[in-house]
Chains A and B, each alone.
Chain A
Amino acid sequence: MAETSVENSITPDHKGNVVSRFVWTYVFATDHKVIGLQFLFSSLIWFFVGGFLALAVRWQLAWPWSDMPIFGHMLFAESGGQMSPGFYNMLFTMHATIMIFFVIIPILAGAFGNYLIPLMVGAEDMAFPRLNMLSYWFMWPAFACIILSFFMPEYGASAGWTSYPPLSVFQGDAQSLWLLAMVFVGVSSMMGSINYLTTIIQMRAPGMTMFRMPMTVWGMFITAIMQAFALPVLTAALLMQLSDRLLMTGFFLPENIAVNNGVATSGGGQVLLWQHLFWFYSHPAVYIMILPAMGMVSDIISCFSRKPLFGYRPMVYSITAIAGLGFIVWGHHMFISGMNHTLAMSFMVSTMLIALPSGIKVFNWIGTLWGGKLQLTTPMLFCVGFVAMFVIGGLSGIVMSAPPVDIVIHDTYYIVAHLHYVLFASSVLGVLGAIYFWFPKMFGRMMNERLGKIHFFLTFVFLNGTFFPMHFLSRMPRRVADPYIYEGLKDLLPLNQFMTICAIGMGLTQLIFVANFFGSMFFGAKAGRNPWNANTLEWTTVSPPPHGNFDVQPVVRRGPYEYSHPETDSDFFPQTKTS
């Protein structure tokens, strides 16, 4: 096995000096595990950048126009450390952009997808290792564009992560860099998804039928399909907007509008066209940001319940249904946009329907817990937290999918509450759980349980303190630098201050995670091959797995969830074990 993978890679034998060895193993890495870790580390770094931006947003909402700590004096010395309203718009724009495109998508698909897919299906590497390398490389021009844009006027793009024209077309040059960055990220994801699809379809170990794949792989598989279909649309739309900005093509601009005394547009374009194209990608994208996490959570919950995943096939069917329906619900972001009001009704019906498979998944997770022998380890706590929080996010989704109700709550903090319950309280908790779970495989050492539990407890408490009250701000518009300019919103100041304090607490809590992560990497207890007594293939090889992954070709004999099988003595039954 090891030989074939060397053949596959362009890595020369590891001699040479230290520098060239470093370059060959880390820059020109074609091993899916190294690429996975590259995605993991860059996403975690961006996670902290995005978190800082969020805290700055919260700062302004709690103590508007006051002296911002540290950055205030660096950037706004003339105004006494007080941020400008344009800067505020940059903060939430770049916070969302970074969190979505540089953190959650790359960490789920890029890091865990890369690391786990070949290991879990029993392959020695991805189908196209060099394409895989390129897909990580393409993140870097995106990083470069975004870093550069922070040095352009207003310190970055500021038209919202949704980048609605005409506003985005009339923004400064940072917006062009933003668009380019998004194109690069899209190309990167597209290369990744082709690789995942091919690997899952072509490279499964003997005996690994589709319905013996762990939910993690199913989640990645369906996500890759969604990316492959939705990303071309986004890429086209981004390039159209870029050419509107640079070549005055006017795809998205109606006749005769001008901003800041500029030349009036000549027209022929449609403003709403962008929104349709954008949400045609971005609604599937919100599922791209949760299906892999749902898969990983399913595996972890089943493992620590020591019990088969309840209703494996319905779980697979429901993510497939979510993916299918996910392509016909994008209009729920546009109920108030002025789109045909009858069409809104059809989008409402499909959105209501998509809540159904989401609900089924929750019931199945609860069914898995019920009657189990639960081991409340750190990864398990994060995953149970995921389920509980996803209930809240899903329910607020149903509230918003009722168009008459959405009239009130669209573009208010209620939306912000919803999206943070699904993206932070669900996806990010799932990702953290997955890090605690697979860390022993990745680095060969265990993470500290006590610190992990403290991390979970504080994150859980602070995240609810930060995001739950947002449900009650359904009259406070989002993306407003100073809501207290409205008489009717002045009374919301104390609540906002409470949320900001919780958010700062949540930010500080993550330092515990950083300490645990790096501490355990060097000083953690040694993990064997299978510290959690789990069934799936990645646990049959050494930790961390070598180039080529498996010392013996795995042959799969059963599904991944045979925990506490009555015919065995032990409470787990690895997929490869001869009975």
Chain B
Amino acid sequence: MNRFWSVLFLLVPVLGIASILMAMYGVAPLESAWLPKSLSQAGDTIDQLFNGIHLLAAFILAGTVFTIGWALWRFSDRGDSDAKALYITHNTKLEITWTVIPALILVFLAFFQMKSWAENKMERPTVTVNGVSSFKPPMVMVKAKRFGWEFYYAGDDGVVETEDDIFVENLLVLPAGEEIVLQMESRDVIHSFYVPELRLKQDIVPGMTQFVWFNAREEKEVEIMCTELCGWGHYMMKADLNFVSRAQFDAWIAEQKSAYSPEFKKAVEPTASLRGSSSLYSAERLIAAQADLGFEK
């Protein structure tokens, strides 16, 4: 029976590591389980960290839990000897070793990842005009609300939150291969903007403004998920994100503009004084406005 328990514990690292490697290298049945293919350079860096730390973790898991299983195998009392257990209370050298080595690994990890974090969250892209550099203006203002996403594209003036913004709901179309900045705000409660393929996640907190940036290298259709509980409809708070070529993007924007008459705009867009109330921005209202104005979309 002792052997049985030892094998049970030995199986933990065997199965654990096998499944980690299967997921990491895409072996069935876990081939698609872990993360989808990364769409951006910054995402690749995160993947390297993700895989690297998991390999390190797998290594430590093997070392520790194998030792446990092995100890059960070797030191279980089988009742065949009168010898007592070893009387060992401590071993200073050994203890210093297993404190210092993990400490060094952890400090290394701590510093090693800072660059990637800075790239993703702190170094907001800049543009230089006439030798003066300033933050790159956001291409789209994202307004999260219960339970959907509003996207306001900067119009001809290149600035969001002006008269000529173009409003689209639950669909974000963006050019691939360009550095894109989004500005994000919430109309009601906390939401979170998650695109697994971009390795991008940011909570959107009412009363605060967030910026995110990314550069997708491929044309691809992906989804935006809300990852912060926002109420009963949280589960259905999704939007589509389509990365298209620059030409397709320009054509799409032009089409939006032409369909975007002043009457329609007045019907669906909030006036400043009503900014607060999320119910004013519902999909029903958008559809009703489209119907009123005879739009086919």
Residues facing B in A448-484 (CB within 8 A) are 457, 460, 464, 468-469, 471-475, 477-483
Shortest C-beta distance, B85 to chain A (Å), equals 4
- A527-570 to B contact mask, C-beta < 8 Å, 1/0: 00000000000000000000000000000000001011110000
- A332-343 to B contact mask, C-beta < 8 Å, 1/0: 000011100110
**Also in contact, A411 and B146, with CB within 8 A (given A341-B117, A359-B102, A399-B53):** no
- Check B146 against A369 for contact (C-beta < 8 Å): no
- Check A479 against B229 for contact (C-beta < 8 Å): yes
> Is A208 part of the contact surface with B, judged by Cβ < 8 Å?
no
**Also in contact, A468 and B16, with CB within 8 A (given A85-B232, A405-B53, A407-B199):** yes
**Also in contact, A258 and B207, with CB within 8 A (given A342-B122, A371-B85, A408-B196):** no
> Is A485 part of the contact surface with B, judged by Cβ < 8 Å?
yes
- Check A391 against B235 for contact (C-beta < 8 Å): no
- A395-B63 Cα distance, complex, nearest whole Å: 12
- A167-B278 Cα distance, complex, nearest whole Å: 13
Shortest C-beta distance, B96 to chain A (Å), equals 10
- Check A480 against B85 for contact (C-beta < 8 Å): no
For chain B, give the interface size range.
Answer: 35 or more
- A154-B15 Cα distance, complex, nearest whole Å: 41
Chain B residues in 8 Å Cβ range of A420 = none
Among A337, A353, A468, the residue within 8 A (CB) of B203 is A337
Chain B residues in 8 Å Cβ range of A370 = 67, 71, 75
Residues facing A in B73-123 (CB within 8 A) are 75-77, 83-91, 94-95, 98-99, 102-103, 106-107, 109-110, 113-114, 116-117, 120-122
- Check A391 against B60 for contact (C-beta < 8 Å): yes
- B47-84 to A contact mask, C-beta < 8 Å, 1/0: 00110011001001100110110011001110000011
- Check A374 against B33 for contact (C-beta < 8 Å): no
Shortest C-beta distance, B58 to chain A (Å), equals 8
- Check A369 against B277 for contact (C-beta < 8 Å): no
- A388-B53 Cα distance, complex, nearest whole Å: 19
- A387-B23 Cα distance, complex, nearest whole Å: 25
> Is B265 part of the contact surface with A, judged by Cβ < 8 Å?
no
> Is A204 part of the contact surface with B, judged by Cβ < 8 Å?
no
Shortest C-beta distance, A432 to chain B (Å), equals 16
- A349-B35 Cα distance, complex, nearest whole Å: 26
- B164-179 to A contact mask, C-beta < 8 Å, 1/0: 0000000000000000
- Check A408 against B201 for contact (C-beta < 8 Å): yes
Chain A residues in 8 Å Cβ range of B188 = 166, 170, 257-259
> Is B228 part of the contact surface with A, judged by Cβ < 8 Å?
yes
> Is A134 part of the contact surface with B, judged by Cβ < 8 Å?
no
**Also in contact, A258 and B77, with CB within 8 A (given A370-B71, A472-B23, A488-B223):** no
Which of A98-106, A108-116, A310-318 forms contacts with chain B? A310-318
- Check B190 against A167 for contact (C-beta < 8 Å): yes
- A482-B233 Cα distance, complex, nearest whole Å: 10
- Check B5 against A311 for contact (C-beta < 8 Å): no
Chain A residues in 8 Å Cβ range of B83 = 373
Residue of B nearest to A159 (CB): B229
> Is B227 part of the contact surface with A, judged by Cβ < 8 Å?
yes
> Is B210 part of the contact surface with A, judged by Cβ < 8 Å?
yes
- A313-B89 Cα distance, complex, nearest whole Å: 10
- Check B46 against A408 for contact (C-beta < 8 Å): yes
Residue of B nearest to A345 (CB): B114
- B111-148 to A contact mask, C-beta < 8 Å, 1/0: 00110110011100000000000000000000000100
- Check A271 against B205 for contact (C-beta < 8 Å): yes
Chain A residues in 8 Å Cβ range of B91 = 310-311, 367
Shortest C-beta distance, A303 to chain B (Å), equals 11
- A360-B98 Cα distance, complex, nearest whole Å: 7
Chain A residues in 8 Å Cβ range of B85 = 305-307, 371-373, 563-564, 571
- Check A374 against B231 for contact (C-beta < 8 Å): no
- A395-B75 Cα distance, complex, nearest whole Å: 26
- Check A392 against B72 for contact (C-beta < 8 Å): no
- Check B276 against A264 for contact (C-beta < 8 Å): yes
- Check B201 against A411 for contact (C-beta < 8 Å): yes
> Is A254 part of the contact surface with B, judged by Cβ < 8 Å?
yes
- Check A376 against B72 for contact (C-beta < 8 Å): yes
> Is B1 part of the contact surface with A, judged by Cβ < 8 Å?
yes
Residue of B nearest to A169 (CB): B189
Shortest C-beta distance, B259 to chain A (Å), equals 26
- Check B113 against A460 for contact (C-beta < 8 Å): no
Chain A residues in 8 Å Cβ range of B264 = none
> Is B27 part of the contact surface with A, judged by Cβ < 8 Å?
no
> Is B268 part of the contact surface with A, judged by Cβ < 8 Å?
no
Return the 8 tightest CB-CB contacts between A and B, nearest first. Answer: A254-B207, A371-B86, A86-B232, A472-B33, A395-B57, A404-B116, A481-B235, A564-B84
Instruction: Please give 4 more A-B residue pairs, beta carbons under 8 A apart, in addition to A255-B207, A337-B203.
Output: A369-B68, A376-B72, A402-B109, A469-B19
What are 16 A-B pairs at a CB distance below 8 A? A160-B229, A167-B189, A253-B206, A258-B278, A259-B188, A271-B205, A314-B95, A344-B117, A366-B67, A372-B71, A374-B72, A408-B35, A464-B12, A474-B34, A477-B194, A487-B223
